Amino acid sequence: MRLAWLGCCAGLMAAPAWAQDVDCANAEAQVELTYCAEQDWLAADADLNAAYAVARKRMQAIDADLEADQRGAADYLRDGQRAWVTFRDATCAAEGYAMHGGSAEPMVIYGCRARLTEQRTADLEAMAEEY
């Protein structure tokens, strides 16, 4: 039993090393395609978080110039972002149903998340620039 557990742990530790060998420009196997789609989404999510931080600071600056009873820009941005994450995840889960139960379903979901996240990032960047 203990030997089986150690073998399982060793297999999990090897996964990151395998992932470093994936050439996403030439991925062919489904596991590679899914991994690459996930990496695209993670990169888009990092960009989103950076854009959100800038937009949030801008909304906080707007709030700082208002009377206390008039403030709310930063709170509305936060609430909107939370609602958007819920929207994105539900929309992409629905889009994933095109491959429901198949090995490509996670790839479709990650691709959708990356696409919608890139769009939201552009919206947040525009918001920060306009205001």
114, part of any domain: yes
- What are 43-87's pLDDT values in tens digits? 999 999 999 999 999 999 999 999 999 999 999 999 999 999 999
101, part of any domain: yes
pTM of the predicted structure, to 2 decimals: 0.82
19, part of any domain: no
82: domain CATH number is: 1.20.1270.180
Q: Provide the domain limits for residue 124.
A: 24-130
CA distances from 109 to 16, 35, 50, 61, 120 (A): 21, 12, 22, 36, 16
* CB-based contact 95:112 (threshold 8 Å): yes
DSSP symbols for 102-118: STTHHHHHHHHHHHHHH
- What are 83-120's pLDDT values in tens digits? 999 999 999 999 999 999 999 999 999 999 999 999 99
| Total domains in the fold of the chain | 1
* CB-based contact 93:109 (threshold 8 Å): yes
